[in-house]
């Protein structure tokens, strides 16, 4: 389908106008503006504009995403804008991207990953080890909740929804003793000073793609794929592809407490992953290394190891 706002330039030519669809949250707008500035630097004569949108996921402030349709609720409206030509590109946090891309769409670029770790924010405690038994720790992520419970079984985990500033406000009102958020989001919003401590990847495996941005477009827009190609970060892309392959092989969505983290060096990829029951009573872990030129194969291998170590039973219990 041709764009309604411009004719499609030939692949390799300089784009004249690009419209980026984005959620309206401060973090999403920051991410879109970051990509906007990079595209303006690449194509100084190009008009790069934002199309802010409210998504179903943003409207469900207090509902559990897992029961309402998952993380895809944050991107469906943006994909409609891509389909009907109101926008050319959409920028997402990779950790919010469903494991399977919908037909007709593609990930044109995965950018250089920022800090992949989770961060602890608290007005009272410097670290989760200081949080007393029975105190409330807030997180919207089953993955974080299960790993925090495994290491700090005395705390009470409660869901917390809303954008970053909404969550911080709930913490500041005393509703939570501490909350756990993605470090990259806090840093992008200039809120690094709120971070009291970090959870290392050994303590809490990140979500697949955490810290990286993805640029989505229609799969039939070769011109756009070529235009954003300079924003692809090869090392981060390889790692994120491996992590997403684990998620995809296990049918991953935000109802599964699944962590995956890959590191690349000298042509080799190391991938760690886990699947946990929400209460952390059952955890399957796996790790493997392989050639960096086939990250999906490594992800599928680690997913199979997870199944052998009990992930299939954990996932079956979640679906029951």
pLDDT digit string (tens) for 62-79? 444 444 444 556 688 899
DSSP string computed for 48-63: EEEEEE--HHHH-SSS
pLDDT classification of 98: cutoffs 50, 70, 90:
confident
pLDDT at 162: 87
Cβ-contact 122, 177 below 8 angstroms: yes
| pLDDT level of residue 7 (50, 70, 90 thresholds) | very low
Is residue 222 predicted with pLDDT exceeding 60?
A: yes
Cβ–Cβ under 8 Å, residues 162 and 25: no
**Mean pLDDT across 181-191:** 96
Q: How far apart are CA 302 and CA 279, in angstroms?
A: 23
User: Distance (Å, rounded) from C-alpha 239 to C-alpha 246?
Assistant: 11
pLDDT digits (tens, 9 = 90+) for 111-147: 999 999 999 999 999 999 999 999 999 998 989 999 9
Query: Residue 210 corresponds to which tokens in the numbers above?
Result: 């955490």
Place of tokens 């997403």: 244
User: Quick check: is 96 catalytic?
Assistant: yes
* Whole-angstrom distance, CA of residue 292 vs CA of residue 303: 17
Please compute the mean of the pLDDT values over residues 98-110 and round it to a whole number. Answer: 92
Cα(119)–Cα(197) distance, integer angstroms = 6
Among candidate residues 117, 177, 107, 180, the one with its CA nearest the CA of residue 144:
180
- Options 96, 115, 118, 223, the catalytic residue: 96
Q: To the nearest whole number, what is the mean pLDDT of the chain?
A: 89
* pLDDT surpasses 50 at 246: yes
- pLDDT given for residue 76 in this prediction: 87
Q: Residue 99 — very low, low, confident or very high, per pLDDT cuts 50/70/90?
A: confident
Q: Which residues pair with 18 in a beta bridge?
A: 48
C-alpha torsion angle, residues 303, 97, 225, 241 (rounded to 10):
-20
Q: Does the pTM exceed 0.85?
A: yes
Residue where the block lists tokens 């089953």: 142
Q: Strands, E, within 25-147: which ranges? A: 47-53, 89-93, 105-110, 118-121, 136-138
pLDDT at 5: 43
Segment 307-319 mean pLDDT: 89
Which domains are present in the chain?
A: 17-111+211-232 (3.40.190.10), 118-199 (3.40.190.10), 240-309 (3.30.160.40)
> Which residues, in sequence order, are bridge partners of residue 180?
120
Residue 97 gets which letter from DSSP? S
Share of the chain above pLDDT 70, in %: 88
CA 143-306-300 angle, 5° bins = 100
């Amino acid at each position: 389908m041709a764009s309604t706002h411009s004719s499609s330039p030939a692949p390799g030519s300089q784009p004249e106008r690009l419209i980026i669809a984005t959620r309206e949250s401060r973090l999403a707008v920051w991410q879109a503006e970051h990509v906007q500035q990079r595209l303006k630097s690449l194509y100084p004569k190009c008009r790069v504009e934002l199309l802010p949108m409210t998504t179903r996921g943003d409207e469900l402030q207090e509902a559990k995403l897992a029961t309402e349709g998952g993380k895809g609720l944050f991107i469906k409206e943006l994909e409609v804008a891509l389909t009907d030509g109101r926008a050319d590109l959409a920028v997402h946090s990779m950790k919010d991207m469903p494991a399977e891309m919908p037909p007709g769409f593609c990930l044109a670029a995965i950018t250089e990953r920022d800090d992949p770790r989770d961060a602890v924010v608290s007005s009272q405690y410097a670290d989760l080890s200081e949080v007393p038994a029975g105190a409330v720790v807030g997180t919207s992520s089953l993955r974080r909740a299960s790993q925090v419970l495994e290491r700090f079984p005395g705390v009470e985990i409660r869901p917390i929804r809303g954008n970053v500033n909404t969550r911080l406000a709930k913490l500041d009102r005393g509703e939570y003793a501490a909350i756990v958020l993605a470090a990259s989001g806090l840093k992008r919003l200039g809120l690094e000073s709120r971070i009291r401590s970090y959870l290392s990847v050994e303590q809490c495996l990140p979500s697949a793609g955490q810290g990286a941005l993805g640029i989505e477009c229609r799969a039939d827009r070769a011109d756009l794929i070529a235009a954003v190609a300079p924003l692809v970060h090869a090392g981060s892309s390889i790692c994120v592809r491996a992590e997403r392959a684990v998620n995809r092989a296990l049918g991953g969505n935000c109802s599964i407490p699944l962590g995956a983290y890959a590191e690349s060096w000298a042509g080799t990829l190391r991938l760690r992953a886990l699947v946990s029951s929400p209460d952390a009573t059952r955890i399957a872990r796996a790790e493997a290394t392989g050639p960096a030129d086939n990250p999906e194969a490594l992800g599928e291998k680690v997913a199979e190891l997870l199944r052998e170590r009990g992930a299939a039973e954990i996932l079956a219990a979640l679906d029951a």
